[in-house]
Structure 1
Amino acid sequence: MIEPLPPGRARLIGPYQLLGLLGAGGMGEVYLARPAGAPDPLGGLVALKTVRADLDLDDGFRIRFRREIDAAGAVRSPHTASLVGGDASGRLPWLATEYVPGPSLAEAVIRSGPMPEPVVREMGAGLARALADMHAVRVLHRDLKPGNVLLGADGPKVIDFGIAQAFDATQLTRTGVVVGSPGYISPEHVNGSRALVPASDVFCLGAVLAFAATGRGPFDDSDMAAVIFRIAQGEAELSGVPPQLRAVIEECLRSEAGTRPTPRQLADMLLPEGRAIREPFPWTEAIRGQLAAHAAGARAVAEAAAPSAAAPPAPPAAPHPGGPALAPTPVAVPGDRRGNKGLWIALAAAATVVCVVLGAVLLPGLLEGSGGGDKSGGAGGGGAQPTASASDAVRTEAGPAVVPGADAGRTGDFGAAAADVSGKPEGWQPWHVRIANGRVECVLADTSLVCGGPQRITVLDAANGKRRWQTGPGRAGTGPASVAAVTGTTVYAFEDGALVALGLADGAEKWREPLAGGARVTDSVQSDGVLYYATRTTGTGAARIFAHQLTGTHTRKWDKPWDDPADEGELLFADGRLVAVGDAVTVLKGTDGARSGSTGPGDVTCRTPVLKGRALLCAGPNGLTVVDVTAPQNRRTVADGVDIAYRPAVTRDGTVVLSAEERVYAFGLADGRQNWATPDAVDYSGAPVIVGDHAYLVTEGFLESYEFARGSQESPANRKAYSGWPDGSNSRVDPETVSLLAKGDVLFLSFEDGSVLSGYAP
């Protein structure tokens, strides 16, 4: 069950000593490990997941790996294997979860046969409560299957958040690709990964329970197309499931997501009246025998691997970048036979994510290039890029430069000028093009749309989308290109491992300043001719913040270490203060970088910060925490109890627009009073922005607007929505990946597949 370490494999990864191989997949491996130098050979055993040493890791892979850590760290549950630590930035990224000495559900059923109904009910209730705990912190599992359930002595444990997605996380799957395991995916999986909802996990759990009760999945078929067809048509095979249990599973496998029970309801259906799961857990004798065999195997391997004399003392586990909450994430591989050991299904098995390309069954690619612009696309893959941000004071020769988020505080307010039709580019007509093979984000400068993409900078004519110029592709591994600012007639961008200045008219290079070796830019913000940007060095993880004077001598003003444990962070600027938000909040003077205030790591959860003057707005599952950055210990709550799904938007007069899963709200920032809320629940949410006296909501498949200035406390005025995007398409996207600009009653939107469109505002 535990293989010897492969020849040549290093015995230490991070702070852990490797003991044996639990599983291996196409890209990664999972090892049994313990803290290096631990005096107790059985103390602190973990399942340590890492990637193959021969892989060339790009930024996109590290982002996906970091997302595994983030998903694991968001969940706390007795029914999941807990995260111990992780590092996505080192030479070999790794993460460690508690080691569960027991078989997977797949292995247990294959070896011991179907489970009795009472055991299935107890196990199912534990798994349902695990899903409830995940969904409570806005994490979907997306690949719940028998191989991702481990059977521990105290009950089932859900593992493998390797393709889990936080509700508000950036989508990293391509349109047209289903992520999940055939036979244990929902109808929403078939319709595209962006259609997934919490009820999708419930559907998968229903299929898992059917497997536990009968030894086969409800949609099993030797033909993959037949499996997908049966899932889409709701043709589950449940013969052999006990009648009362079958009725519960049928509720989980309903075709319409909205008609399925919630995880809490499902737990109550399996164990009526909320009864607690029995202790000790009532596994069958056969399964208890497997548990004992796994525990004995782990003990033998751990005792045989004497601590290395050369091993350094165990340092603290790597801090989780998302805060103190910790939880699991090993991944699973298909079983195989090895010698006389029988069917081998890893305990915390290594990663093979099954991506099923379903062709015409799925959504088409978002906005394939058509219209007046260039359709050649850009080279390179996707990957996260620094967010461009700038001050309203930044001006080109013809007017202000407009950027995503509208200003250096990311308030999302584009102002009254954005709704003034006289500001529309001359000769403008609706258009859309595709300029890259990955996410793009743009800045509007006079009549030019300046866009950063996976490898290059592209400048479009804002009136018709035609390409004006484009830089050459960057070197592989240097990360995406991003627009930092446009001032006067100069574009400042991070490209090819350097900060470069390019002519707005023709792209001619004016100067170039290389970044320090191994450094990548994690965020940037610009105000009053000064660019502030944060970097993190690959390998060491060291982070710094720089201030660079763009105008005049274009010299570096200052640079300071940023001792925040978060791997990523955001920079915001207002009233002369630079606010760096990671696990902690750090306030610096813009003039010299001197620290003027801070919070401790984890004191404030601030995933989507907004800075309005001295007020730092931190959205969370229980409202909006408002931190006074001049005295960070002073905090208050607005919209108490509202589970905020996206970054808030704030008007110039201090009205905060919040988007929850089923409602949109407006509150006064100063007094915390609710101005209005949408009166009825909806089945979507989206990211808000402010355009004139309207709040726009960018949802998964359309734009909605609210004229909030004259709204009542009960309802906003003049609510209206597109049936799709401004170009008439109905493609579905993750709202967090859409970048929106507003100018002259026109919208410019860019998407994660490299598409850019311009259309009339609602």
Structure 2
Amino acid sequence: MQITPLNPEDPLELGDFELLGRIGHGGMGQVFLGESLGGEPAAVKVIKPSVVDSESRLRFAQEIEVLKTIWGPRMAAFLGADAEAEQPWLATEYVDGPDLARHVKTHGPLPPVLTAALGAILAEALSAVHTQGLLHRDLKPANVLLGPNGPKIIDFGLAAFTESSVSLTAPHQVVGTPICMAPEQAAGVKPLTAAVDVYALGALLLFAATGHYPHEAATPYMVFHLVTDPGTAPDLSGTPGELVPLLSGMLAHDAETRPSLTDVVQQCRSVIEAQGMKIAQARRRLTAHTAEQRHRSTSVAPHSPTVLWPAPASDPSGTEITPVDLDTPAPIEEPAHSPTLVAPGPSAKETPSPEPPTRLDPSDGSRHGRPASNRPPTDSRRPTAGTHTLRHSVQARRTAERLRTAYAATAPF
């Protein structure tokens, strides 16, 4: 996962979390790498000031309540939040690994048995979510992180209580990511059922096994048309034979004919056991495989920085801001009774403003990579030396070292 230094305008702390760097961003907010008072690394999500209003706060508060409701080893744990703060924020467990979309783009599709292992893990995790009366509604490769302890599901911002009569979307409003959206969800059918997450998981597993989605087109409108057309079958080209029955069932147009998540787990087990393996072995092999691929990608050029410092204005190609980079439409919304879709938010990649690189030298107090002239007054943003001790866990020291290495490789002087 790529981490870049904080910008001068970024907060240094939110609640009890000290912010150490930027992880990624989207149309609604920014995600920071943070650290708790006890040294626990966290992903801290903040709503952008430009979009903070009563509705965004309500949506954010709903996401917080959802995260308080769910738990499990395959969910990024809830660590803290404040929806009423001037800058509403939400902290969850930091998973040190790439998302599935990034992994497949970098290393290619997963072998069939590992795809089946991934399917069993995620289906079981989603089943626990559904037991709480919730739907994820936006499961996609970018929302599955491949951490050192296995995959974890993130981003329950669109999750909804299946029995709830309260909704933040209009009756005909469609919210989600078209490439992994079930036909009934794309058509605006309500209420939705657990089958929408089964379909999304099928689209995710198809991508993991082949590198493509069930329906792809040049525009979101065309994707919506393909998804909702009962006469257009999902594209299963390149799917390994042993996975075709599973994925064709999960991607069925009719929600009632899709398998349950329990059936998905059983079918994934059958694929694994047909290869002479046990499910536990396949799960361990999946984690080892993704970790090995990641290690290879970082060891090809051992002296290359693993964290990219913002490049000079003359070299924008060397800049990386976010780990999420799908060549597909961003989540979009369709206003009620209108055929026009709201334009997606900012691109997942953006070139930072041309600022001169700054030294990451702890001796001058600029641990956040800010030039001395840009650091805020001590009494307004930062406690004095006598009242505040900087927290440096192993994770924080590793991050700082990566930033120093990256800076040394790109500094113009």
* TM value normalised by structure 2: 0.70
Counterpart of 1:339 in 2: which secondary structure? helix
The CA distance in 2 between the partners of 1:225 and 1:51, in whole Å, is 28
Alignment partner for residue 198 of structure 2, among 202, 224, 246?
Answer: 202
User: What does residue 25 of structure 2 align with?
Assistant: 24
Matches within 5 A, 1:296-695: 339-340=317-318, 344-346=322-324, 353-356=331-334
Q: Which amino acid aligns with 2:31?
A: V
User: What does residue 217 of structure 1 align with?
Assistant: 213
Confirm or deny that 1:153 pairs with 2:148: yes
User: What does residue 263 of structure 2 align with?
Assistant: 265
The CA distance in 2 between the partners of 1:128 and 1:89, in whole Å, is 34
Counterpart of 2:190 in 1: which secondary structure? helix
Cα distance per residue 1:88-138 (max 9 Å; x no partner): 122221111111111111100111111110111111111111110110101
The CA distance in 2 between the partners of 1:285 and 1:341, in whole Å, is 28
Closer, same or farther in 2 for the Cα pair 1:284/1:275, shift >3 Å? Answer: closer
Displacement of 1:229:
2.2
Q: Which amino acid aligns with 2:260?
A: T
Closer, same or farther in 2 for the Cα pair 1:292/1:67, shift >3 Å? Answer: farther
Counterpart of 2:44 in 1: which secondary structure? strand
* Contact 2:134–2:160 (CA under 8 A) maintained in structure 1: yes
The CA distance in 2 between the partners of 1:206 and 1:220, in whole Å, is 15
User: What does residue 246 of structure 1 align with?
Assistant: 244
User: What does residue 286 of structure 2 align with?
Assistant: 282
Counterpart of 2:239 in 1: which secondary structure? coil
Alignment partner for residue 51 of structure 1, among 47, 53, 71?
Answer: 47
Counterpart of 2:32 in 1: which secondary structure? strand
User: What does residue 411 of structure 2 align with?
Assistant: none
Confirm or deny that 1:108 pairs with 2:103: yes
Closer, same or farther in 2 for the Cα pair 1:289/1:62, shift >3 Å? Answer: same
The CA distance in 2 between the partners of 1:83 and 1:56, in whole Å, is 22
Displacement of 1:354:
2.2
Q: Which amino acid aligns with 1:340?
A: G
The CA distance in 2 between the partners of 1:288 and 1:105, in whole Å, is 14
Closer, same or farther in 2 for the Cα pair 1:10/1:190, shift >3 Å? Answer: closer
* Contact 1:134–1:140 (CA under 8 A) maintained in structure 2: yes
Displacement of 1:341:
5.8
* Contact 1:148–1:160 (CA under 8 A) maintained in structure 2: yes
Q: Which amino acid aligns with 1:6?
A: N
User: What does residue 142 of structure 1 align with?
Assistant: 137
Q: Which amino acid aligns with 1:245?
A: L
Mind listing any 5+ residue stretches in structure 2 that lack a counterpart?
A: 308-314, 341-413
User: What does residue 179 of structure 1 align with?
Assistant: 175
Higher relative contact order (CA 8 A, sep 6+): 2
Alignment partner for residue 65 of structure 2, among 47, 50, 70?
Answer: 70
* Contact 2:4–2:321 (CA under 8 A) maintained in structure 1: no
* TM value normalised by structure 1: 0.39
The CA distance in 1 between the partners of 2:110 and 2:335, in whole Å, is 33
User: What does residue 94 of structure 1 align with?
Assistant: 89
Counterpart of 1:183 in 2: which secondary structure? helix
* Contact 1:101–1:291 (CA under 8 A) maintained in structure 2: no
The CA distance in 2 between the partners of 1:90 and 1:344, in whole Å, is 25
* Contact 1:69–1:95 (CA under 8 A) maintained in structure 2: yes
| Structure that is richer in helix per residue | 2
Closer, same or farther in 2 for the Cα pair 1:56/1:269, shift >3 Å? Answer: closer
Confirm or deny that 1:133 pairs with 2:137: no
Cα distance per residue 1:217-262 (max 9 Å; x no partner): 1101114333222212252000100112011001101111111111
Cα distance per residue 1:255-278 (max 9 Å; x no partner): 111111111210111113894464
Closer, same or farther in 2 for the Cα pair 1:343/1:31, shift >3 Å? Answer: closer
Counterpart of 1:67 in 2: which secondary structure? helix
Mind listing any 5+ residue stretches in structure 1 that lack a counterpart?
A: 302-336, 363-762
Closer, same or farther in 2 for the Cα pair 1:129/1:338, shift >3 Å? Answer: farther
The CA distance in 2 between the partners of 1:261 and 1:338, in whole Å, is 47
User: What does residue 384 of structure 1 align with?
Assistant: none
Closer, same or farther in 2 for the Cα pair 1:342/1:53, shift >3 Å? Answer: closer
Counterpart of 2:317 in 1: which secondary structure? coil
User: What does residue 512 of structure 1 align with?
Assistant: none
Closer, same or farther in 2 for the Cα pair 1:225/1:140, shift >3 Å? Answer: same
The CA distance in 2 between the partners of 1:7 and 1:292, in whole Å, is 34
Q: Which amino acid aligns with 2:113?
A: P
- The two structures, once aligned, show a CA RMSD in angstroms of 3.0
Displacement of 1:30:
0.4
Closer, same or farther in 2 for the Cα pair 1:10/1:292, shift >3 Å? Answer: farther
The CA distance in 2 between the partners of 1:46 and 1:78, in whole Å, is 16
* Contact 1:29–1:50 (CA under 8 A) maintained in structure 2: yes
* Contact 2:215–2:227 (CA under 8 A) maintained in structure 1: yes
**How many residues end up aligned between the 2 structures?**
315
Displacement of 1:26:
2.3
Cα distance per residue 1:509-562 (max 9 Å; x no partner): xxxxxxxxxxxxxxxxxxxxxxxxxxxxxxxxxxxxxxxxxxxxxxxxxxxxxx
Displacement of 1:183:
1.2
Alignment partner for residue 184 of structure 2, among 171, 184, 188?
Answer: 188
| Structure that is richer in strand per residue | 1
Q: Which amino acid aligns with 2:317?
A: G
Closer, same or farther in 2 for the Cα pair 1:360/1:88, shift >3 Å? Answer: closer
Counterpart of 1:131 in 2: which secondary structure? helix
Closer, same or farther in 2 for the Cα pair 1:289/1:338, shift >3 Å? Answer: farther
* Contact 2:35–2:41 (CA under 8 A) maintained in structure 1: yes
The CA distance in 1 between the partners of 2:186 and 2:52, in whole Å, is 31
Counterpart of 1:50 in 2: which secondary structure? strand
Closer, same or farther in 2 for the Cα pair 1:88/1:343, shift >3 Å? Answer: closer
Counterpart of 2:95 in 1: which secondary structure? coil
The CA distance in 2 between the partners of 1:186 and 1:248, in whole Å, is 16
Cα distance per residue 1:430-485 (max 9 Å; x no partner): xxxxxxxxxxxxxxxxxxxxxxxxxxxxxxxxxxxxxxxxxxxxxxxxxxxxxxxx
The CA distance in 1 between the partners of 2:172 and 2:258, in whole Å, is 25
The CA distance in 2 between the partners of 1:338 and 1:155, in whole Å, is 34
* Contact 2:101–2:324 (CA under 8 A) maintained in structure 1: no
